[in-house]
A and B are shown apart, each in its own frame.
Chain A
Amino acid sequence: MRIAITGRGIVSPIGSGIGAFQEALWAGASGIRPIARFDTAAFRFKQAGEITDFRLRPELEARESADTATKFLLNACSEALQEAEVENAGEEILKDTGVVLGTNFGGSSSGEKILNAIEGEGVASKRDVREFIFQTAADHVANAWSLSGPREVLSLSCSSGTAAICRAAEVLERADASAVLVGGYDAVSPFAWSGLSALRTMTRGAIQPFDKNRSGTIFSEGAGCMILEPLDKARERGATIYAEVLGSATNNNAFHMTAPSKGGSGSVKVMQAALDDADVAPSEVDHINTHGTGTRPNDSTETEAIKTVFGDHAYEMPITSIKSMTGHMMGAAGTVETLAAVASLRFGRIPPTINYSEPDPACDLDVVINEPREFSGDTVLSNSAGIGGCNAAVLIRKGSG
């Protein structure tokens, strides 16, 4: 089945709303700033891609009590539905729309209240419990727009957002929904920050993907949403086709919880599986929006994996990592990066990998450094990976609208 992306919504540290986000991409903006939400005195890492100017959209006023991460998601969903003009397309589409979400930590900001309560620190309310349970985010979305399709919440660490796109494609394939609202979302909380700091993957400097001096990633937050519909149905109703999802895949390295597999074998297999799913040859891929976290092992391993899949063609394709700008948006990374790839196809421009100063022989592909680059291709691959050895990849093609 051919699948269309007909709506997009973004809440990100470099800008919220698809227009602002794209402007920031071309400007090479950075969303990394000192954390303001909580006191970082006791933490080793004090900067994040924190969303500072957030306000719940007026139409969502009744959901003010939702968890922080869920509110990011709701705003992005609202924008995506508006852009897809689904509400104008008749009740039928909305009624059978499914919700497939991806997140690392879901409502953990609310869950902290329960963790405190069992340690004898205060009490957790019904609201706290409800907002902690991951399914509640899907319920909020479905209730806010009266959707009756399947509601699924995936959690596959930092590959969650891309995994949600994969799963949504299958839901459409089974014809269990007329459309699927896909959302990746996460928020920075003291709980998450303590853990992420302990992983020793972060830097106190800048995120420098593929740079010889890269010293780690910086986690961030936000949400990315898209509406997926069968291409023929989307055309029938005259929807704008922002891009087409050609194929996707998830898998696991089946090797180690935190270390990359040798030669990036899991990443190799997931890219190949996405190409197979799309029935697209490696030589047809024009650009890769990489996972590119800026950690030493990720970027060299991902480079190696790309070379294994694409051979000599690997050197002919520009690659980039928008994490250099947005930070690592965890569960939102996959959907937001796919939307950056959509922007590349629409505007014929690849966003830069900023903070780049020195080439690394172990990362010797054609990285788009520091300035955006004009681009005329029509097929882009987006990669994601996460703790536990999770991988996901999605292949998209230029839309007709």
Chain B
Amino acid sequence: MSNSEKTSNVVVTGVGPVSALGFGCRALDQGMRGARSGIGEITLIDPEPYGSRQAGEIPEFDVQDYLDSQKTYLDRSSEVAFAALKLAMQDAALKPADIGQNGAGIMLGSLFGNQSTVELFYNDLLEKGPRLVKPILFPNAYPNTTISLLAIEYGLDGVHLNFAGGFNSSMAAVAAAYDHIQQGKAQMIFAGGYEVLSESGFYGLAELGRLSPNDGGQENCSPFDQAANGFVMGEGAALFVLESENHAKARGAPIKAEINAVSHRSCPMERKDGATVREDTEGNPVLDAMRTVMCDAETAAEEIDCIFAHADGDAGTDKIEVAGCRDICETGQAAIPVTTTKPMTGECLGAGGGVQLAAAVTAMENGYIPPVLNLGTPGAGAENLDIVRDGAWEQALNQVMVNSVDPGGSAVSVIIGT
């Protein structure tokens, strides 16, 4: 597959990261350079029933610091998205007056979305019955509540797409925004995703056996390690100001990175009759996405300075991604350094790709690769990869690949450059 003719280069002019490492690019930079993990004991819900006690919760914050007007109701997922958007705006040297009612769009992704409001609504329903539920809750329980509240707040009257899929959601949003600007349909789009801890979301992840420790061992987020036994959930949000290069230059905006290419691929993970074929599947969506994105960016493996892998400690997705990275390195005869920020932030689900993309832009700006924490003995094929460990590697980065993988069998790869 090849790109249709490019009409516009797409650049990143603002990054608004929120994660267990804190708020904004500086906090993310300090956390990564300092090889710090934001993962700790869960405080937001009672984890007792679930056998997993840790998460990368977003540090305590006052949403008023990020609001331009008073709100009667905002749930935690909207709060973190509002904060991320505000941070991205500031980073892009934009004021609310610059973006209102002039065609700027927004595209967001989240896996569980506004599930905490869904819970409140449902609780109200069980207690009072359908005739007496609080009317304010349901409009706030839609998967598109957060994106629409942001559009209303800042007058974002342009393209409006909300991805409510899986782990790829925020990267799918970034990919869609890239398409839209690249095809000349918009000049500026806020794109990214958000994810927060909710009781029902945590219940679901535990029930699916995705949370560490899913083998009865020690709870830890340790991708690439032979003792990896699931992921630790993280909260997070990342919003990017994406613009056509011409638009950014015309307003004298700081250009932090260029998006060179994006690719979204999938492979059937089960047979047509519904039986699982993961173990013997021939297709590898991560490899497919990485190959396609390199082809579209017209770049060779030796020109990729680092891969920010999806790697979160989940056996299924890590296995195919490691195999994909090995293939890219061996085929291209290049030892590409591989890292992941998941042990620092936790697996931020629908926001995971966005948070890692924010990490990649930040690392590129500051000339280093953050290390993979919690790595003892590499396993499951990772022993053959050049994993970044033992502190940050000081290194100029000109071109970086970022992966986001969904356990259902789809993957998004993005290549960014200086």
Q: How many residues of A contact B (CB 8 A)?
A: 87
Within 8 A of A (CB), among B270-295: 270-275, 283, 285, 288, 292
Asked whether A144 is an interface residue with its Cβ less than 8 Å from the other chain, the reply is yes
B138 contacts across to A, CB distance below 8 A: 194-196, 198-199
Q: B129-162 toward A: CB 8 Å interface, digit per residue (1/0)? A: 1110101011101111101110110111111111
Look across to chain A and name the residue whose beta carbon is closest to the beta carbon of B285.
A148
> When each residue 10-29 of chain B gets 1 if its CB lies under 8 Å from chain A and 0 otherwise, what string results?
00000000000000000000
A264 proximal to B (CB < 8 A) = no
Tell yes or no: A1 within 8 A of B by CB.
yes
Given contacts A62-B272, A175-B2, contact A390 B208 (CB under 8 A): no
Binds A, one of B53-61, B118-126, B223-231, B305-313: B118-126
Among the 9-residue stretches A6-14, A25-33, A135-143, A232-240, the one with 4 or more Cβ atoms under 8 Å from chain B is A135-143
Q: Given the complex of chains A and B, what is the CA–CA distance between A272 and B389 in angstroms?
A: 53
- From A62, A99, A155, B142 is in contact (CB under 8 Å) with A155
Contact B159 A254 (CB under 8 A): no
Q: Are B130 and A193 in contact (CB-based, < 8 A)?
A: yes
Which chain A residue shows the least CB distance to B101?
A: A254
A124 and B204 contacting across the interface, CB-CB below 8 Å: yes
Say if the beta carbon of B97 comes within 8 Å of chain A: no
Q: How far apart sit A390 and B157, CA to CA, in the bound complex (Å)?
A: 9
**Contacting pair B274 A157 (CB below 8 A):** no
B157 & A251 in contact (Cβ 8 Å cutoff): yes
Contact with B along A88-128 (1 / 0, CB 8 A): 00000000101100011010000110110111000011101
Q: In whole Å, how far is A259's beta carbon from the nearest beta carbon of chain B?
A: 11
Find chain A residues with CB under 8 A from B409 CB.
139, 142-143, 151
Q: Are A147 and B139 also in contact (CB < 8 A) when A194-B125, A252-B151, A257-B152 are?
A: no
Task: Let me know if B162 and A195 touch, CB within 8 A.
Answer: no
Which of B179-187, B237-245, B353-361 is the interface stretch?
B179-187
Q: How far is the CB of B16 from chain A (nearest CB, A)?
A: 19
Q: How far is B275's CA from A139's CA once the two chains are assembled, in angstroms?
A: 13
Give the secondary structure class of A's interface: mixed
Q: Which residues of A contact B48 (CB under 8 A)?
A: none
A132 to B2, CA, bound (A): 35
Asked whether, in the complex, the Cβ of A389 is within 8 Å of the Cβ of B142, the reply is no
Residues of A within 8 A of B410 (CB): 135, 138-139, 142, 150-151
* B166 with A135: CB separation less than 8 A: yes
* Chain A residue at minimal CB-CB distance from B126: A119
**Which residues from 92 to 114 on chain B have a C-beta closer than 8 Å to any C-beta of chain A?**
100-101, 105-106, 111, 113
Count of A-B contacts judged by CB separation below 8 Å? 256
* B250 interface residue (CB < 8 Å to A): no
- Check B207 against A143 for contact (C-beta < 8 Å): no
Size of chain B's interface in residues, with CB distance under 8 A? 86
What residue in chain B is nearest A64 (Cβ atoms)? B274
Q: Does B164 lie within 8 Å of A134, measured CB to CB?
A: yes
Q: Is A43 an interface residue (CB 8 A)?
A: yes
**Alpha-carbon distance A98/B292, docked complex (angstroms):** 15
Measured in the bound complex, the distance between the Cα atoms of B109 and A156 in whole Å is 11
Q: Are A129 and B121 in contact (CB under 8 A)?
A: no
Shortest C-beta distance, A329 to chain B (Å), equals: 16
With the chains together, A138 CA to B166 CA distance in Å?
10
| A55 interfacial by beta-carbon distance below 8 Å | no
* Contact of A156 with B185 in the complex, beta carbons under 8 Å: no
The stretch from A166-174, A306-314, A356-364 touching chain B is: A166-174
Q: Which of B259-267, B324-332, B368-376, B394-402 contacts A (4 or more CB under 8 A)?
A: B259-267
- A153-212 interface with B by 8 A CB criterion: 153-157, 163, 166-167, 170-171, 173-177, 190-191, 193-200
Give every chain B residue within 8 A of A130 (Cβ-Cβ): 208
Find the A residue at minimum CB distance from B172.
A152
Chain A residues lying within 8 Å of B408, measured Cβ to Cβ, are 135-136, 138-139, 151
**Identity of the chain A residue whose Cβ is nearest the Cβ of B175 in the assembled complex:** A150
For B207, the chain A residues whose CB sits under 8 A away are 124-126, 128-129
A145 at the interface (CB under 8 A from B): yes
Partner of B162, one of A154, A166, A174: A154
Contacts A118-B119, A251-B105 given; indicate if A198 touches B130 (C-beta within 8 A). Answer: yes
Q: Which residues of A contact B377 (CB under 8 A)?
A: none
CB pair B200–A388 under 8 Å, yes or no, is no
Q: Does B163 count as interface, using CB distance less than 8 angstroms?
A: yes
In Å, the complex CA distance between A387 and B162 comes to 13
B43 at the interface (CB under 8 A from A): no
**Contact, CB under 8 Å: A118 / B200:** yes
Q: Contact partner of A198 among B105, B135, B176, CB < 8 A? A: B135
| Chain B residues within 8 Å of A128, by CB | 207
Is A255 located at the chain interface by the 8 A CB criterion? yes
- B12 vs chain A, min Cβ distance (A): 19
Q: B4 and A147: CB pair below 8 A?
A: no
| Contact of A149 with B179 at beta-carbon distance under 8 Å, contacts A42-B129, A155-B143, A155-B164 already known | no
Q: Which residue of B lies closest to A178 (CB)?
A: B1
Bound CA span A270–B204, Å: 37
Q: Which residues of chain A from 245 to 290 have a CB within 8 Å of any chain B CB?
A: 249-258, 266, 269, 277
Q: List chain A residues, Cβ under 8 A from B268.
A: 142-143, 146-148
Asked if B203 CB lies within 8 Å of chain A CBs, one says yes
Nearest CB in chain B to that of A265: its residue:
B157
Q: How far is B129's CA from A193's CA once the two chains are assembled, in angstroms? A: 12
Q: Does the CB pair B141–A195 fall under 8 Å?
A: yes
Query: In chain B, what residue has the closest Cβ to A258?
Result: B139
Asked if B302 CB lies within 8 Å of chain A CBs, one says no
Would A139 and B269 count as touching, CB distance under 8 A?
yes
Given contacts A134-B143, A143-B269, A150-B264, contact A252 B148 (CB under 8 A): yes
CA distance A20 to B76 in the complex (A): 46
| Contact for A197 among B130, B141, B152, B275, CB less than 8 A | B130
